[in-house]
Structure 1
Amino acid sequence: MLLKKTPLYDFHVENGGKMVSFAGWSMPVQYSNLGVLASHLHTRENASLFDVSHMLQLRLSGKDRISFLEKLVVADIEELPFGSSTLSVFTNENGGIIDDTVICKHDDYIHIVSNAACADKDLIHIRKEMNKFQQKGGDVDLKVIDDHALLALQGPKAASVLQTLCGKDLTDFKFMTARQLNIKSSDCHVTRSGYTGEDGFEIGVPSSDSVELANFLLKYPSVQLAGLGARDSLRLEAGLCLYGHDLDDTTTPVEAGLTWTIGKRRRSEGGFLGAEHILPQIKGGKTRRRIGLIVEGAPARENAEIYNNENELIGPSPSLQKNIAMGYVKKGYHKSSTELQVKVRNRMQKAQVVKMPFVPTRYHK
C-alpha cells in the first residue's frame, strides 16, 4: 500500500527522521540525533516539535452544527464558550467509542481534530449521520481541512518560544482554548493543548508554510524534533488514551475513565448515540474500569494478561524509570494500591494499581 505523506515528509528525511508506517502514513518514529528516551526527556525539560499533520482536521458549519454534533458526541457543545476546546468521544448505538476527538467551538464554525487511524470510519460515520440530519431539514456542512499541516510544540519552554516567534504575550492563552495567531506572516489556528501532559500548542498552519515554520521553531536551542516513539511514551505517562489500544468500539466512556467528558446537561438529557447504555453506567452499572499499574520486573507487552482480569497495555516509563501500564479490570479491582499480577512471558509479576496520570501534568490553566 502506498503510504500518505505529510507536507513535512522531505523535511523529516533531511533532518534524519526514521520513517515508519503508521495509520497509512509515513511518519518519523525518531531522529538520528536523538533517540526515543532522550527525546522523551527533552520534551519534559525543554520543548519538542512533533508533526501531527496525519490527524484528521474538520470544519463543521451551518446554523444547526451544534445540535447535529451533539447527536454524535457526549460533550456539551452548547455551553462550551467560544474559543474553548474540549476532549470528547464519538459513540455508537451500543455506547462504544468510535474515536476520541478534540472539539473547538468558534463563533461561526466548529473545529474538530481526530485520529488518523480512524479517519476513514470517522468520515463515513459523520457523513452518514449528517445525511439523515439534512434530510430532516437540518442545516450543517462538513469540510475536511486538507490544506493545513498540524505541528505540536510541547514542553515547558514551548510558550516562551512561540511568544517570541509571534511577538505576543501568551500569558492569558489558557489550556484548551484556541485563537488565530499570525506567526511569521502565516495565519495559524492555534490551540493550547497537546498529547504529552506538558504545556504546549497545536498549530494549524497552511501546508505551504509548514516547513518554513518548523525551521523557524528549530532555530531556538531549546527546541528539538521528536517522533512517534516519544509521543507514545509521553502520552502514556500522562495517562492519556490511544485509540485502538486503550479505547475501542466495545469500550464505553465510563469504562474508559472518561465520564468527565460527558457534560452535566448531557447526563440528564442524553440525545447522543448509545446514551441508553452509557448513562446507567454513571450510576454504577459498569462492569470494568480502566486503571493505571506499576509492574515489577521485565516490561510486559500489549495484551499481557492481568491476573483475574482482562487485556492490558503496558510500556516503559523513561521519566519514572518504572514499567507502567494502562488496562481494564473487573469492577472492584480498580482501587488505588490494589495488588494484582501481570503475566509476562508465562511468568506472573507483581503489579499495583496507582492513580493516573503517572507523571503530574503541567497544563497552563
Structure 2
Amino acid sequence: MADLQHLPLAALHAELGAKMTPFAGWEMPLQYPAGVMQEHLHCRAHAALFDVSHMGQVMLRGPGAAVALEALVGADLVGLADGRQRYAVFTDDAGGVLDDLMVARRGDDLFLVVNAANADADVAHLRAHLPAGIALEVVRDRALIALQGPQAEAALAALIPDAAALRFMDAVVLDWDGAALWVSRSGYTGEDGYEISVPVARAEAFARALLAQPGVAPAGLGARDSLRLEAGLPLHGQDIDATVSPIEAGLAFSVGRARRPGGARPGGFPGAGRILHELAHGPARARAGLLPEGRAPMRAGTLLFESEDATTPMGHVTSGGFGPSLERPVAMGLMPTRLCVPGTRVYGEVRGRRLPAVVAALPFRAPGYRK
C-alpha cells in the first residue's frame, strides 16, 4: 500500500470503516462494513456514493478540440452540443480498443474522463497526436464522486436544486456553496445518477453533505463491479482491450452516424477500415451475456465450449460473478457471433467440469437512466 496513490477522501473512507485494496495504482475502498451485496442492493433501491477519484480527468482546450479528438475516436464530437456528454473509444490502427472514455462539451473545450489504469497512456496518446494549438491539461486538483441509484436525484437536488433538471448525459457546471462542480447525469451502474468533479479542498465536505441525505450510503469497488456487470457494461482490461474491436464488444453505438459511410465525416479514425467493415458485415465474434445454470459462477478466463464434449474452446468468459439483484450468477464472454443468440446453450469449464450456461441479451437488468 505504501507505493500506492491515495484518494483525497482517504480519511473519510477510514472513518467509514472501508476495507482498502490496491487497484490501478491506487488505494481504493473495496467495501464498507455493510458488505458488497448490501451495498449493491442499496444502490439499486436507494442511492450509493462511490469515490472514483482514481479516474483520469483531462481538459482539452481550443476551438479545434473536437475536430482534433475525432481523429482518435469514432464518436461524433463535432456534433456534440454544448453541455452534453458522449461515450467514446480510443482505437489503434488494427481497430482494437485502447480505452473507453467519456467526453463532455464545454464551449470550445472538452472534458475527458478516462480509466485509471490507462490514464498515463491515454495522456501520452493524446500528446502524441493532438495538433499544435490544442492545450491539454491533466486535472489534478479535483476529486470525482459518483452518486448512483433511484434516490440520487433527490439527494443531489437537496444540495443543488438545478441538478434535478438534468437529462441523461447532460454535463454542466453547477454551484455548491461557492464551489464549481462539474456535474454529468451519467454513471456506470445501470442506475440513474451523477458523476461530480469537485475541487479537492471541498471534496470531503461535499461527500459528507451527500452522505447526510436520506437513502445515501457509501459503496466500494466490489459493488461497482457487480452493478456494472448486471448492467452489461464492459470493463477495459477484461471485456475490452487492444485485441477486441468496438463492434465485437457490442459498442457499435460509439461510432457516430457522421463517422459512418454516407455520414458527414466518415472514417478518419484509427482502425476505421476494420471497424466500418464489421459494422457493415458483422464481426466473427461478439460479446454476449451468459446465465450459468446452477449456483457456481463463471469467472473471467473461464473457457467456453460449444458442447459438453467439445475438445476445443470457442471463446472465454471476460467478466463473471454473482448478480445480487438477479440472485444468480451472471457473466459475459467473447464467442463466435453465430452462438450469440439468446437461448443458445454453451458450456464453461469450471474446476475441470463442463457446466452449462444460456446466452442472454444484455443488459441483464433494464437500466434506470433518466432520458
TM range (shorter): over 0.9
The answer as to 2:232 corresponding to 1:239 is yes
Q: Is the 8 A contact 2:299 2:331 kept in 1?
A: no
Task: Output one character per residue of 1:113-157: Cα deviation in whole Å (capped at 9) or x when no partner.
Answer: 010011121111111112xx32xxxx2111001100000010000
In structure 2, distance between residues paired with 1:76 and 1:112: 15
Q: Which residue of 2 aligns with 1:290?
A: 287
8 Å contact kept, 2:5–2:27: yes
Describe how 1:253-268 pairs up with structure 2 within 5 A: 253-268=246-261
Q: Which residue of 2 aligns with 1:250?
A: 243
Letter in 2 for 1:296: E
Shift of 1:181: 1.1
Paired AA for residue 128 in structure 1: A
Q: Amino acid of the residue matched to residue 89 of structure 1? A: V
| CA distance in structure 2 between the aligned counterparts of 1:41 and 1:113, rounded to whole angstroms | 26
Name the SS for the 2:269 alignment partner: coil
**SS across alignment from 1:188:** strand
3-state DSSP class of the match of 2:260? Answer: helix
Question: Is residue 279 of structure 1 aligned with residue 276 of structure 2?
Answer: yes
How far residue 171 of structure 1 moved from its aligned partner, in angstroms, is 4.1
Map 1:1-365 to 2 at 5 A: 2-32=3-33, 34-130=34-130, 133-134=131-132, 139-166=133-160, 168-268=161-261, 269-297=266-294, 298-308=296-306, 309-312=314-317, 313-365=319-371
Amino acid at match of 1:63: P
Q: Which runs of 4+ in 1 moved over 3 A?
A: none
Deviations 1:244-284 (A, max 9, x none): 01000111000000001100110121010111121101111
Q: Secondary structure at the match of 2:93?
A: coil
1:199-250: CA deviation from partner (whole Å, max 9, x where unpaired): 0000100000000001111112311010000000000000001100100011
Normalization by structure 2: what TM-score?
0.94
Q: What is the Cα deviation at residue 299 of structure 1?
A: 1.1
Q: For the residues of structure 2 that align with 1:25 and 1:35, how far apart are their CA atoms? A: 21
Task: Show structure 1 runs of 5+ residues with no match.
Answer: none
Identity %: 44
Matched residue SS, 2:165? coil
Instruction: Give the secondary structure class of the aligned counterpart of 1:104.
Output: strand
Residue 88 of structure 1: how far off its partner (Å): 1.0
Partner of 1:127, secondary structure, is: helix
Shift of 1:94: 0.7
Q: Residues of 2 paired with 1:96 and 1:129: CA distance?
A: 17
Question: CA–CA distance in 1 between the matches of 2:127 and 2:110?
Answer: 16
How far apart, in 2, do the equivalents of 1:185 and 1:50 lie?
Answer: 23
Q: Read off the aligned partner of 1:286 and give its amino acid letter.
A: P
The one-letter amino acid paired with 1:164 is A
TM-score normalized with structure 1 length = 0.96
Q: Which amino acid aligns with 2:232?
A: G
Q: Partners of 2:63 and 2:211 in 1: how far apart?
A: 41
Which secondary structure state, in structure 1, belongs to the residue aligned with residue 86 of structure 2?
strand
User: What SS class does the counterpart of residue 182 from structure 2 fall into?
Assistant: strand
Shift of 1:285: 4.6
- What is the aligned residue count? 357
Q: What secondary structure is seen at the aligned counterpart in 1 of 2:244? A: coil
Looking at structure 2, the residues matched to 194 and 285 of structure 1 have their Cα atoms a distance apart, in angstroms, of 29
Tell me the SS of whatever aligns to 1:101: strand
Return the alpha-carbon distance in structure 1 between the equivalents of residues 231 and 219 of structure 2.
Answer: 17
| Alignment partners' CA distance in 2, 1:31 and 1:90 | 34
Distance 1:57 1:7 in 2: 14
**Structure 2 segments unaligned to the other structure (5+ residues):** 307-313
Superposition deviation, residue 300 in structure 1: 1.9
In 2, Cα distance between equivalents of 1:221 and 1:174: 22
Residue equivalent to 2:309: none
